[in-house]
Amino acid sequence: MKVPRPKSTFGAIVELVAIVAFAVGLALLIQAFVVKPYVIPSGSMIPTLEEGQRVLVQRVGYHFGDPEIGDIVVFHPPEGAQAERCGAPEGLGEVCITSVGEPDDENFIKRIVAGPGDTLKVVDGRAIVNGEPITDDFIKPCGGASSCNFPNEVTIPADQYFMMGDNRGSSDDSRFWGPVPRDWIIGKALATYWPPDRLGIF
């Protein structure tokens, strides 16, 4: 039987470099198009997600189906959202219903509470959608903040989604800067992977 000749040191190094390059390329491809990690930047999603917690977000699911009420999503907010900029003045007692025309470069993570064509009002921090409160036993109560009550009903525009943080009294969200076009949604949170005591699947 013929014994194969051992590879040269140079050949072994070339093979190792090729393997590493392939692995890095594959990892970058997965992050770009399939699953990407994100760090929670604030306490707006307490108690569901703590500041500094890490989540995995899948980026392909919404190519095959629509976002749904209750989904936790990463998205681009409207430009100027951090200054609570609404695209048009809302009526007295109404949430902002018109976002500015351009997405911000920042990434936010919130929960979808209403979708295209849904009617919405907010009572004591709870989203009342199409006349019924949505399931929200996971939220942190509003606590009487000025953001707790928008009793005048509005209709969500076509192809847009209304986002709210679970920490209803301490979340800058669609109530103040308007709904988010579907094209601005990056993906749905799948699971939390850090810290270890907060591991879980959504």
Distance of alpha carbon 44 from alpha carbon 111, whole angstroms: 10
Tokens of 70: 């209750």
Given 8, 42, 110, 170, which residue is catalytic?
Answer: 110
Q: Is 110 a catalytic residue?
A: yes
DSSP string, 146-180: GGG-EEEEEEPPTTEEEEE-SBTTS--SHHHH--E
Given 44, 147, 171, 174, which residue is catalytic?
Answer: 44
Distance of alpha carbon 43 from alpha carbon 45, whole angstroms: 6
Q: Is 8 a catalytic residue?
A: no
CA distances 88 to 12, 101, 108, 172, 178, Å, are: 63, 11, 21, 17, 9
- The catalytic residues are 44, 110
